[in-house]
Every structure is written in structure tokens, then in C-alpha cells.
Structure 1
Amino acid sequence: MSSPGRAVPRRKPPHVLANAPFRRLWTAMSVCSLGDWLNIIALTALAGNLTRDAGFQTQSLAIGGVFIAKMLPAILLGPLAGAVADRFDRRLTMFLADLLRFALVLSIPVIGSYQWIVIATFLVECVNLFWVPAKDATVPNLVPKDRLEEANQLNLLVTYGTAPVAAVLFAVLSVAMDFVGSAAPSFSGQPTDIALVVNALAYLVSAVLIFTLRDIPKGHARQGAPSVLRQIVEGWRFVGANQVVRGLVIGMLGAFAAGGAVVGVAKAYVEAQQGGDAAYGTVFGAVFVGMAFGMFFGLRLLSGLSRRRLFGLAIVSAGLVLAAIALIHNLVIVVMLTVLLGACAGIAWIIGYTTIGLEVEDGLRGRTFAFLQSLARVVLLLVVAFAASLAGLFGSHPFTIGAMSYTFDGSHLVLLIGSVVAVVVGALALKQMDDRRGIPISVDLIAALRGVRFEPEQDEQPRGMFVAFEGGEGSGKTTQSRLLAIWLRDQGFDVVQTREPGSTKVGMRLRAILLDSTHQGLSARSETLLYAADRAEHVEKVIRPALYRGAMVVCDRYVDSSLAYQGAGRDLDKDEVAKVNAWATGGLVPDLTVLIDVPPSVGLRRHASPADRIESEPMDFHERVRREFRALAAANPDRYLVVDGTLPQGEVTRLIQDRVREILPDPVPTDAEANTGTIPAIKD
């Protein structure tokens, strides 16, 4: 039996992959994604190999043709294929699509002509248009709604996470084939052929997994699913009015385009550097390995840097790295730089994706992400196709500088253009989104590298004085705070008298919730956060502006009330309550805290009106509150003045004025107390 007040530990919910039907579908998706990436690498490598003897220009155009064949179906036939796919059984659709992809991919190494590569690639992508909508519509039917986000994260992981795996696999196959070829000269197998066979087998494995998955509903897939083009048009309407979101989207697409430029010319670039298929697979995979590192580790290394600044700097850095890749003719260095390029792109992508989730309201967030994903896919394919085609049209131009020979070809031109675009886009994003203007970026970056966040010294310090009154119910603190405010005004000071909760428009609504006796079911944590919300608004709108203009602020209750009432009274962790309130107030601490100490049994008898939600708490609650107030005062005697609230009102007033007189900025006449009128006591 658990002890009173002790939280019973909850059972951790099972992982979404514990769901057997979803696990089988996810496995099929993983295998298909691996096959898709292996397909891209193998087909572009095969196209480059088949046209190797035709020259750099023809080779680049051939590779670009493969990417164009992959891009056209989604743009031209996406809406039609989606409408048709909605009318078929999902399980049967995915099964037949996998079988067709298996047959088409397997036919490519058998036929072995470039023309068939383009035709088969186009047909495979057409089949994909049926497989993807059926898969997307199936996932929500296999997992509970509260686990759908987790399922989508896993789907995204295999969509992009299998790219470096495919690149490593292709490189390993290439090295293995080269080794076999050198050991047995009669062996004529090509790495691209073996990779395509593995690719085809991946689709066959997926078909078997889907065929054995009996839990897929036979109902139709999503009706009226928007096409890629429609998603893009609607997406611009959503993000066009928000400058920050618009800058984020453009920056993210710029980062994706920089990575796409590398992918588009990687094969021709590697061939020009006398590298083989293994080198091409390594360069291809380096982009995605870098993206993974950037997404998972980049933010941790620079945790002290503003996310908006880091977003722009990452894109600018990607552009500079891209320029270095274009000018350096060393494959080892290029691979390392490509990992760095991918890391910069990964940092920009994850920051942008997270910030959009925060900036876009919930009703538009799903459509905005769908728009971003669709546009990113189109941009990636367009850049890859355009990059390879432009590289081919430019050709290769060797020249000599003294004793050094240097070749500048189309791949170098494309990478330089991409670097310029990335630097410009990153600089524009940094200019529009900079949230730390006036602080040099270099200073901010150096501090972040040291693991801290640079905070400039405040040129202007508060000139006023802040006095807070604390105490239990019926202690008389409200009356004494008014008397002190009147006394300070009589001395010629600008005085702002305020209270918590309820001194702002927002605070008035929060006060009604917090003190209304009908809200007895309010949880302790909710109560703490509501008080902190009122305090944050109060400090920003009332207290801090008054202090900066030199006013005397007299406040009825402040942070110590939360430490006593919610920390001790509600039995919450006082350190957590203190952290929440320190964040809410920006660390603002009173110059003096006056604690009027009264036993709860005495203070509660002073109330004539019906008790509010806090006053109606049991006596032991108020006893804990009193003990905590006294403990806070004992721990910080320099800031606290503890006054016995059972003394006559005039005596309490005199003690408070004597202490305040000691900390006033200007001397106060000793006879000032005579100017203090008698104010009727009011309810605290």
C-alpha cells in the first residue's frame, strides 16, 4: 500500500514498434527505402559508366536524364495516380506495386542500355505513386492516435536514415567486385548490376511482408489527397504572411538545394578525379551521414547560440564548404568536407522544422509541413537534374598556370553556383531573423563554442527601489503596503503601489481563477504556473518599467509567496518552484522584503468576508506556509525585515519605515512618520 501523498509510478507505455502489424509495415518501409536509395546510386552510377567514353558533357547529361525521369511522374501524374490509388485495396496495391518494381529494376541490368534505364526509372516512379499513398493511409489505421506522431518519426527516420546505409552498401559492393575482378580476370560482374539485383530483392522482400500483413483495412485510402503542386500553392498562402516562417522555408530549401547540388554532380565529379563507384557511393553517403550528425549533435555543440542565428550561420557555412568542395581536387578531403556540408544542412533543417512547429498555429501546422515536404522533394529533384544537365552543357576546360595544371569542369561550376546561392540565402535569413541585434556574431559564436551564452551587460540599470510585502492570511501586509506607499509619496518619491495576482489585464483574469473558491480542483502545478504567468506579466508590464524610470515600487506579494504557498503549502519541490519564478521574473529580486509574521489562528480570525480558495485551506496548510516564510527570512536576513504582526498597527508601521529609511536613495527626515495618516485595515 502506498503512503499518503506518494505518486504511484506509471507503467511506461509500450513502444510503437511493439505493435506487430505496424512493425511489419515499418520493416517493409525500411527495406523499400533502402532499395530506393540504392536505386538512385546504382542507376546514376550505371548511367555514368555507360557513357564514360562519350566525354564529360555526355556523361553529365546522361546522369541528369536519370534524375529527370525520377522527377517527372510525381509532378505530371501525381494527382491522377493518387485518385486512382484511392479506389483500390491498399494491401493489394502495395503488394502488386512491389512486384512490379522488383521486375522493372531486375530488368535494367539484364537489358543494360541507357534508354531502358530512363524508361524503367520512369515506370518505377509511376508505380511508387500508387505505393506511397496506400502506405500513408494505412499507418493511421495500425497505430493509436496518441502514437501516430511517434510512428511518423520512425517513418521519417527510415526515409532519410537508410540513405547512408545504401551508400555504404554500394561502396562495399564496389570494392568487393573490384577485388573479385582483380583475382579472377574472367569475372565480368559490375557493382551497379549487383546493387540493382539487391535493390530488386529489397522490393521482393517488401512484397512478401505486405502480403502476410492481414491487418490492413480494405477501405479506401485518403479521399481528396492534394497533389504535390496543390500542396505547394496552398503552402505559400499559409507562410507568405509570416516573415519568420517565410525566411525559414527559403533557408531550409536553400540548404536542401546545396546538398542536392552535390548529389547531382557527384558521379561526374568523382569520375573526373579518377574515382570509381566506391568513391561515388562514399561521397553520396557522406552528405546524409553529415545531415544525421548535424541533426543530432550540431545543436548540442552550440547550445549557447541563438537558434535563429545558428540557422542562418549553418546555411552560410554550407555555402562556404560547398565552394571549398568545388575548388579542391582531392577525394579524401572532399569526402570530409561533404560530411561537414551535410552537417550544416542538417542543423538548418532541424532548426527550421522545429521553429516552424512553434511559429505556425496548430490548425495550419499539418498543411505547412506537408507543403514543406512536397516542396523540398521537388526542389531536390529539380536541383539534382538541373545540376547534372548544366554540368554537362558547360563541359570540361583544362588550363595551366605555370607548372600547375588545373581542370575546371561543369561540376565545379555547379558547386560554385550552389555555394553562392547558399551564402546569399543564409545571409538574408540571418538578416531577417536575427533576434540578437547589436551583439557581434563573432562574440556570440565564441561564447557558444565555450559552452555558454553571451549576455551583454545592461547599460541602463534600474534606478528605483523595490519593496515586497509578504505574510500569511490576515497578517495586515496589504494595509502596511498602502501606508508605506503613502509615506513615500509624502517624501516626494514617484511610487507605484501594486499587488499579486491581478495588477494587469491578464492578471485580473488569472486572479479570478486562482482565488475563486469554485475552482477547488485546480492542481498544485497548474496553480504554480498560473501564479508564475501572472508574475511574468506583472514584472514586464508594471514593475520593471517603473524601476527603470526611478520609481519606488511597493508590491503586495511576490515570488516568496509562491515558495511558501505552492512550495511548502502544496508540498511541491521548492527548487522547481524557484526556477519557474526566476525564469518568469528574469531574476528580479526585491531590495527589501517585509514579512509580517502572524500565527494563522490569529490571521484567519481577522477576515469577516467569506473565505477565498486559498483562505479556506485547512490550518496545517497555513502553518506550513508560515514556517516556510520564516525559513526564507532566516536564510536571507539582509533582504528581509520580519515584523511581529500582532503588534499595534502604528508600531508595525514605524518599524517598517525605519528600515526603509536606511535604504532610500536620499535621506528622509526623521519626522516624516508624522505625515503618515491612519488607513483603515483592509482584507489581505
Structure 2
Amino acid sequence: MTARRPAHVLANAPFRRLWLAMSVCSLGDWLNIVALTALAGNLARPGDFRAQSLAVGGVFVAKMLPAILLGPLAGAFADRFDRRLCMVVADLSRFALVISIAAVVWLAPNDVAYRWIIAATLLVECVNLFWVPAKDATVPNLVPKERLEQANQLNLLVTYGTAPLAAALFAALSVVVDLLGGRPWLSGCLALVVNAGAFLVSAALIFTLKGIPRRNGAISTPSVVKQIVEGWRFVGGNRLVRGLVIGMLGAFAAGGAVIGVARIYVTALRGGDAAYGVMFGAVFVGMAAGMFFGLRLLRGLSRRRLFGLAITVAGLVLIAIALIHDLVFVVMLTVLLGACAGIAWIIGYTLIGLEVEDAIRGRTFAFLQSTARVVLLFVVAVANPVAALFGSHMVRAGAFSYTFDGSNLVLVIGGVLAAVVGVLGLWHMDDRKGVPLTADLLAAVRGESFTPEPPEEVPGLFIAFEGGEGSGKTTQSRMIAIWLRDQGYDVVQTREPGATKAGMRLRAILLDAAEKGLSARAEALMYAADRAEHVEKVIRPALHRGSVVVSDRYVDSSLAYQGAGRALDPEDVSKVNAWATGGLVPHLTVLIDTPPEVGLRRLGGAADRIESEPLEFHERVRKEFRALAAASPDRYLVVDGTLAQEEITRLIQDRIREILPDPVPREAEDITGTMPAIRE
């Protein structure tokens, strides 16, 4: 009998109804942003660049300020109410407020209408603060725990996936109004009516939804300031995560500059509301394309390099958007800008998820999201006043004339900021030092991995085993050595530290539990000294004889233990060991990936100096091993160390068979032929 496939989360009727409500609300929210900023620009004095800049900026500040200041208070207040009633009342309130904006714009003078836009926008965002935490707290009560991740992915899809739909709808409404000869603000009013209808549909869906508990634990959130302060405490100590967060926030600031001045920039390019809707949607279409296709097209490029490169290119594209005064080209470049932002955002989130310990991952993401909101608010609030202060200037040189206004200036500043952050990210996190970026990128475009130099042909095969304490790598290296001898190979089984006479003395110092005062740098240099002797006296001679070398630990152990565990600069550790080994790299590195708490429980007897380090140390070591494997998938075999020993051995044998000479020699025969190339 075949096992029944578990039902999709949308097969859950209550969640499906809530998800539909979230979808129409999200569509309404995006439509609201586009419509209100377009209305603000249309209500300002025609042709007055400064007035339009300040009007649009006021709408953005009104939309974002409540979440920054009142989020925790509203969440705590929402804890006290029936969640379904809270969401229904919030939807009805948003419906009434949005309809009132359309009515006031239609009937009142421009200055009165604009003031009500700001006031009503503040009120709508305050109401949102009740709806969002009630919704977030309801989802876990409607879906089983094993389906919660799938439900959250669907929620994320509608949160951002409805943005281009809203932009396209607004553009279509604007085209219809233009064809019918309507007033410029009419398309904004029609969009607000559709937006209000979306809130009304959401209220009806949630009102008929059964199974929402009145209250099931607190749903309040800490203040944004507290999240940022506590989050930086955890993020600041990790060099890679710190670089990722700074890069993502830099990209977010550049994106905020685009959002802030897009409306007045499109107007300066003689585009109407339809063009604004198209440009707004182009950002999100590009982001979706970047998230989906970017990583697939450049599969062979290091993720750390791609992260910095995407932000750098986004900055250069943003500068081009600022300087090119052609609406069609600007829209095309905006799609490319969104694609770069999407690539950077998905890589940053993925790498942070891999690098941050489970216990603090939630706080790290909360810190990132909270800081991003603050950065966005600051940039959007500053962008329009800066644009208004700079004004509009015409440069003439004979028959040539060029207009450079405040929106151009803001976009140039945002582009320069993103490019600088991207270059710093490339320098800060580059994990392929010495490999030219251009050659690496071209190889990735061709679907290949760039190799700096052709490998040196030698008749031996080098296999290294890596893993944390108690991972089982020593047992597996011994089992593989026995198996290879049974196949007729000349096998040299060795280990680090301690494979030479000098190495044995170094091992005694390095692993002595009483040697507590040894500095991290001294430890790294002693391991490198042992490795230099090991390569010179044991590994290289065996490889030139045509032997198979099976080593228990090699260079990657120093990168994991001294680089990540001791928090030394990984580039320094890598350079020292590359010099010590003459650049000798294994044909295959087998990583036995075992959770530290499992591995440490396996150890018997007194713990040595490394084994006695705290669990956090061993967690960092494991994460670095996994990051090294992810950066060089062709050279690594990663095996789950919690599997049965026989299963682990079988998986390793299957992988080694792929690189052994063919045909495999018998025990009675001499070993002939040449092993695969080795890099030195």
C-alpha cells in the first residue's frame, strides 16, 4: 500500500477562508499605498515640484509612523478582545475610513482633502495594528503544527505577491479614466473604492469563519526599540551575520529612496498615474523574478559573492534610473533593480537562517524586520524633503538641455549608498579570495565552477574526514581505510594533529585539558605547524607513490574550530594553512554532520581541551563546517551523523567509488593507472 500524501494546508477550510481574507486585504493595502500617493501628488499645486514632494512624503510618514510608535501598545490591547470580532471591526473601520477619503477628495477643496488623507491614513494604520496581531495569533490555531511553515509561506506569498496585481489594477483604472477624459484624481478615488470593497469582503469572510478562539495566549510584541537593541546584541558578535544585516539594510534604504520619490519622478518624466502604477508594479515583478530565477541562473557562484554583487548592481542600476529621462527605459531598469533586490534579500535571509543558532533566530529576524521598518521610515521621511529642498534645475549647453531635480538627487544618493554597501559586502564576506570575480561570474553564467589553475596530475588520491567532537569521523575513516585495502589499494591512514614525531608533541600541548592559557592565535599557528609537517612528511610522499591517503581532519578543521569557534578572521586562518600545506586540497572531504549535543554525549572518559569547550563553541564549529560544504558542493560529501554506522559507511563508499580508478584493481594485482587530479 502506498502512503497517503498529506493534504495541502489550503484543504483546511477555516485556514483557506482566513487566507482569502488576507489576500484581499493585502491587495487592498497595496492599492491604498499607490492610490494615496498618486492623490497626494495630484492634489498638490500643479508644476510645483517642492509641494508635490512634501505632499507625497507626508502620506508615507502617516502610513509608517503608527507601526513604529504604537505597535506594542496595540498588540497588548488586542490581547483582551475576541480575535474574530477584533478583525471584523478592524475591517469595517478600514472600509469606512477609506470610503471617507474618496468622498472628501471628490467633494472638498484640495487643501481640506489632503489634510483628511493624512488624518485618515494615520487612523487606518492604527486599525491595522489590531488586525495584524490578531491574524498572526489565529493562524497557529487553525493549522496543525507540521503545516505551520507551509501556511506562513502562503501568507508571505499574498503579502508581496499582490503588490504587482494592485499596481496593474491601478494602472488599468488610470488608463480608463484618461480615455474617458476624467480628472487626474478620479483614478485614485476609484482605486480607493475598490480598496474599501476589499476590506468589506475580508470582514464578511472572517465573520463567517468558525473555530477562532477568543484568546489563546498573548499576542503582543515588544517595542521596536527593544527589538533593535536586543537584536544587535546577538547579531553584532557574528562577522558574517553582521555583514549580511548591514547589506540588507543598505539595500532597503536604497529601495526606500525609490519608493519615496517614485511618484514625483514619474511626473517629472511626463508620466501619469498609469505610468506610476506600472513603475510601482515593476519593482515587485523584478523582485519575484530575482528570488525565483536569480539563484538558478547563477548556481555556480558563491552565495556570499552573489549577495554583495546583487546589491552593487542594484546601486548602479538605481544611478542609471536617476540619470536616464526616458520612461520606458526607467521601467525596464526598475525591473532589473527589483530583481537584484530580490536576489540579495533571499540570499540574506537564507544565510542568516543557516548562521544563527536556533535559540536566537527568531529574535534576529525580528531585529532585522524592525530595523528595516525604521530605516524605511527614516529614508522615506527624509527623501521627499531633500528632493523639495533641492528643487528642479535646468542645465543648458548650446542646443543641449538636461533637467536635474530633487528626485534625481535622492535616487543618485540611494544608488551610491547601495553600491558602497555592496562593495563592502563583497570585501567583508568574500569566501573565494584570490579568484577573480569576473572570471567566477562568467563561469557561473555558463553553468560552470571557476577553477583558478589546472590541477596537478599525481597518482594518489586524498580523502579527508571532518566533523565535530563525537561525530563518528574517526570510526568512519578507519572503516573506509579497511574497505579500500580490501579492494587492493595501498592505503595510508593518518590523522591531525599528531601524525609525525613533531606533531605528537604538538598534539600533547593542543589537547591538554590543563593548558587553559593558550591563545587563539597560538593555537591556530600550532595546528598549521603540525599540518605543514604532516603534508611534507606523510601526505605528499604517499600521494606521489600512488597511495590513497585517508586523513582524520585537515585544513577545514582549522577554518571551523579556530576561524568560527575561536572567532579568528577566517581569511587569516585560510592564508596560514594554504601556505603551510602548499595549497594541497583533498579530492573529497567527507563531513559527518552530527548535532553537537549528540556528539558530546557519545564521548567517553575525560574531555580534552577542545571537547570541554561550551556547547555554543561546538554549535559555531558545526555551522562553519556546513557553510564550507555549501560553498564547495563538488568537493564535499555531507552525511547525517545520526544514521546507523553501517548506513553512513555505505553512503561514503558509494561516493568514493565515483572517484576511484576504473577498473578497481584486485588484491593480487599491482595498482596501475593514475588517480584523479589533485589541486595544489
Contact 2:389 2:406 in 1 (8 A): yes
Structure with higher Rg: it is 1
Change (3 A) 1:401 1:218: same
Aligned pairs for 1:474-513 (under 5 A) are 496-498=492-494
Counterpart amino acid of 1:40? I
Contact 2:10 2:16 in 1 (8 A): yes
2:310 to 304, 307, 314: 314
2:667 corresponds in structure 1 to 642
2:203 corresponds in structure 1 to 207
2:42 to 49, 66, 70: 49
2:422 corresponds in structure 1 to 426
Q: Does residue 277 in structure 1 map to residue 273 in structure 2?
A: yes
Counterpart amino acid of 2:26? S
Deviation at 1:555, TM superposition (A): 6.6
Query: Which whole-Å deviations, capped at 9, do the CAs of 1:322-373 have from their partners, x for residues lacking one?
Result: 0000001110110000000000000000111111111111111122122222
Point out where structure 1 has 5 or more consecutive residues left out of the alignment: 1-7, 469-474, 489-494, 504-539, 560-579, 588-612, 618-623, 644-655, 665-684
Q: Does residue 341 in structure 1 map to residue 337 in structure 2?
A: yes
2:540 to 541, 544, 549: 549
Contact 1:309 1:435 in 2 (8 A): yes
2:444 corresponds in structure 1 to 448
Aligned pairs for 1:47-446 (under 5 A) are 47-53=40-46, 55-112=48-105, 113-181=113-181, 190-220=186-216, 222-446=218-442
Deviation at 1:406, TM superposition (A): 1.2
Contact 1:47 1:66 in 2 (8 A): yes
2:515 corresponds in structure 1 to none
Query: Which whole-Å deviations, capped at 9, do the CAs of 1:200-259 have from their partners, x for residues lacking one?
Result: 111111111111112111115535522222222221111111111111111112222222
Change (3 A) 1:545 1:433: farther
Contact 2:43 2:114 in 1 (8 A): yes
Change (3 A) 1:452 1:179: same
SS at match of 1:235: helix
SS at match of 1:304: coil
Change (3 A) 1:549 1:74: same
Counterpart amino acid of 2:177? M
| CA distance, structure 2, for counterparts of residue 663 and residue 195 of structure 1 | 72
| CA distance, structure 1, for counterparts of residue 84 and residue 322 of structure 2 | 46
Change (3 A) 1:279 1:479: closer
SS at match of 2:667: strand
1:671 corresponds in structure 2 to none
Contact 2:76 2:220 in 1 (8 A): yes
SS at match of 2:666: strand
| CA distance, structure 1, for counterparts of residue 483 and residue 339 of structure 2 | 61
Query: Which whole-Å deviations, capped at 9, do the CAs of 1:578-629 have from their partners, x for residues lacking one?
Result: xx9x979659xxxxxxxxxxxxxxxxxxxxxxxxx999x9xxxxxx9xxx99
| CA distance, structure 2, for counterparts of residue 32 and residue 467 of structure 1 | 56
Deviation at 1:188, TM superposition (A): 8.7
Contact 1:294 1:343 in 2 (8 A): yes
Contact 1:318 1:419 in 2 (8 A): yes
Contact 1:102 1:201 in 2 (8 A): yes
Two-structure CA RMSD over aligned residues (Å): 3.9
Relative to the length of structure 1, the TM-score reads 0.71
Contact 1:464 1:547 in 2 (8 A): no
Contact 1:48 1:267 in 2 (8 A): yes
1:20 corresponds in structure 2 to 13
Deviation at 1:467, TM superposition (A): 12
Counterpart amino acid of 1:640? P
Contact 2:494 2:551 in 1 (8 A): no
Query: Which whole-Å deviations, capped at 9, do the CAs of 1:64-105 have from their partners, x for residues lacking one?
Result: 011111121112211211111111111111111111111111
Query: Which whole-Å deviations, capped at 9, do the CAs of 1:453-500 have from their partners, x for residues lacking one?
Result: 2122266666867799xxxxxx9x969979x99xx9xxxxxx95459x
Contact 1:138 1:221 in 2 (8 A): no
| CA distance, structure 1, for counterparts of residue 550 and residue 77 of structure 2 | 68
| CA distance, structure 2, for counterparts of residue 243 and residue 155 of structure 1 | 31
Counterpart amino acid of 2:374? V
| CA distance, structure 2, for counterparts of residue 344 and residue 124 of structure 1 | 32
| CA distance, structure 2, for counterparts of residue 42 and residue 211 of structure 1 | 27
Contact 2:462 2:548 in 1 (8 A): yes
Query: Which whole-Å deviations, capped at 9, do the CAs of 1:235-292 have from their partners, x for residues lacking one?
Result: 1111111111111111112222222211110110111111110011111111111101
Contact 2:65 2:377 in 1 (8 A): no
| CA distance, structure 2, for counterparts of residue 133 and residue 106 of structure 1 | 24
| CA distance, structure 1, for counterparts of residue 6 and residue 278 of structure 2 | 39
Query: Which whole-Å deviations, capped at 9, do the CAs of 1:6-38 have from their partners, x for residues lacking one?
Result: xx5322211111111111111111111111111
Alignment: residue pair count: 530
Contact 1:464 1:550 in 2 (8 A): no
| CA distance, structure 1, for counterparts of residue 3 and residue 206 of structure 2 | 35
Counterpart amino acid of 2:163? A
Change (3 A) 1:166 1:640: same
| CA distance, structure 2, for counterparts of residue 545 and residue 462 of structure 1 | 15
2:590 corresponds in structure 1 to none
Deviation at 1:378, TM superposition (A): 2.6
SS at match of 2:541: coil
Q: Which moved more, 1:75-84 or 1:164-173?
A: 75-84
| CA distance, structure 2, for counterparts of residue 293 and residue 10 of structure 1 | 35
Change (3 A) 1:9 1:389: farther
Q: Which moved more, 1:299-308 or 1:455-464?
A: 455-464
SS at match of 1:549: helix
| CA distance, structure 2, for counterparts of residue 293 and residue 431 of structure 1 | 26
SS at match of 1:398: strand
1:29 corresponds in structure 2 to 22
Contact 2:235 2:241 in 1 (8 A): yes
Relative to the length of structure 2, the TM-score reads 0.71
Deviation at 1:191, TM superposition (A): 0.2
Between the aligned residues of both structures, percent identity stands at 66
Counterpart amino acid of 1:146? E
